[in-house]
């Protein structure tokens, strides 16, 4: 009798343990967590993604580099990233800079990409000393100040505002001028778009921090520009977020429109934002972009060299190449002019 009970208990125990293991593994696979995993992305040629009416047979390639990001991973992916020295984990809040939600962060990244394309055109045409048409289209919400009351009223990062109380405000300057006629506590109606869809919110204004005594919304903003070049130029970066391909886009635009193969037969990777004046700005995740460039056998890697910003990209790039024994040769660039000078001095392969 005792043996029979013991056998039955063992049989039940085995079944219970099997069910428990299935539940644990299922939870580990199907449940998502509020984190973002970062790792090496891709290093792809810019040439197929920038189309102009000027055909250019490049002997080498300009490579734009990306960071791989995986949001809301499961426990299995988190564990793999934790033990993998080439991946990192951040909370969603840290990864998005504290954005209202992940959708708002994605909208902001989309604008950054579009703005990068516009600035690449402005910088390229400036370097070629050619004119280009520019129109203001609204004001983008980049981030909020701690004092703002706009978040509670429904405004999000990435929203593009075009009117205040029915009056067109297509530039940051126009918006500041309109809001200056109000007092803190006054409510204004803001209209615009969020991810391409109309929005309409009413928010209370605040006295802006500091000694300016200005009335405002309490956010960091920028003017949204539509840039129309005299030449047909099309971009295909819709699967890419953020502004970090700006420098490499600009080099490719100049190469195609001038007919000069600036690659000189080399695989030249790089990263960095670009502004309308050709200043190269720092970006995030340069270590992952270097890993991607190394995998694609890049000869050189253009690194943002921003003295005012503290040279963090340059220092991180040097450390990554040394620690991982990567092969691309690092080239510091602070401006588009410096990048052009470098590639033009390369001896053609």
**Do residues 331 and 301 touch, judged by C-beta distance below 8 A?**
yes
61, 104, 116, 244: the catalytic one is: 244
Rounded to whole angstroms, the Cα distance separating 43 from 61 reads 10
Active site residue 129: no
- Catalytic site includes residue 116: no
* Secondary structure class of 223 (helix, strand, coil): strand
Question: How does strand 267-270 pair with strand 61-71?
Answer: parallel
- The residue from 59, 177, 289, 345 that is catalytic is 289
Count helices and strands (H / E) in the chain. Answer: 9, 18
CB 224 within 8 A of CB 162: no
In 148-166, which positions are buried (b, 16+ CB within 10 angstroms) versus exposed (e)?
A: bbbbeeebbbbbbbbbbee
- Quote the radius of gyration of the chain (alpha carbons, Å): 25
Inter-CA distances, 83 with 78, 197, 240, Å: 9, 41, 27
Q: How many CB atoms lie within 10 A of CB 131?
A: 9
Q: Which two tokens stand for residue 74?
A: 């499961």
Reduce the DSSP state of residue 115 to 3 states and report it.
helix
Task: Give alpha helix (H) positions in the chain.
Answer: 2-30, 75-83, 92-95, 102-127, 172-179, 246-258, 286-295, 312-324, 336-345
347: its two tokens: 């001896």
DSSP-assigned letters across all residues of 70-88: EES--HHHHHHHHH-TT-E
Q: Which residues are catalytic?
A: 244, 289
């Amino acid at each position: 009798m005792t043996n029979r009970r013991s056998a039955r208990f063992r049989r039940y125990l085995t079944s219970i343990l099997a069910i428990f293991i299935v539940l644990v593994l299922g939870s580990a696979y199907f449940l998502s967590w509020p984190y973002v995993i970062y790792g090496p992305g891709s290093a792809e040629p810019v040439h197929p993604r920038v189309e102009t009416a000027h055909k250019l047979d490049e002997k080498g390639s300009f490579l734009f580099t990306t960071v791989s990001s995986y949001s809301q991973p499961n426990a299995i992916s988190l564990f793999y990233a934790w033990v993998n020295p080439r991946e990192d984990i951040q909370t969603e809040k840290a990864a998005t800079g504290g954005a209202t939600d992940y959708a708002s962060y994605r909208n902001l990244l989309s604008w950054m990409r579009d703005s990068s394309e516009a600035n690449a055109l402005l910088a390229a045409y400036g370097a070629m000393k050619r004119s280009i048409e520019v129109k203001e289209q609204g004001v983008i919400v980049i981030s909020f100040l701690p004092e703002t009351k706009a978040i509670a009223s429904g405004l999000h990062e990435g929203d593009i505002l075009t009117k205040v109380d029915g009056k067109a405000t297509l530039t940051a300057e126009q918006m500041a001028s309109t809001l200056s006629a109000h007092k803190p506590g006054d409510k204004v109606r803001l209209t615009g778009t969020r991810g391409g869809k109309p929005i309409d919110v009413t928010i209370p204004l605040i006295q802006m921090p500091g000694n300016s005594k200005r009335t405002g919304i309490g956010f960091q903003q920028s003017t949204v520009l539509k840039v129309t070049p005299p030449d047909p130029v099309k971009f295909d970066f819709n699967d890419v977020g953020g502004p970090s391909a700006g420098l490499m886009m600009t080099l490719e635009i100049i190469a195609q429109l001038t007919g000069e193969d600036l690659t000189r037969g080399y695989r030249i990777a790089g990263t960095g934002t670009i502004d309308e004046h050709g200043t190269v700005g720092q970006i995030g995740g340069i270590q992952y972009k270097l890993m991607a460039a190394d995998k694609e056998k890049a000869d050189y890697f253009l690194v943002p060299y921003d003295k005012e910003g503290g040279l963090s990209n340059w220092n991180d790039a040097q450390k990554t190449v040394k620690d991982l024994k990567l092969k691309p040769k690092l080239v510091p660039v602070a401006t588009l002019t410096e990048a052009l000078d470098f590639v033009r001095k390369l001896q053609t392969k």
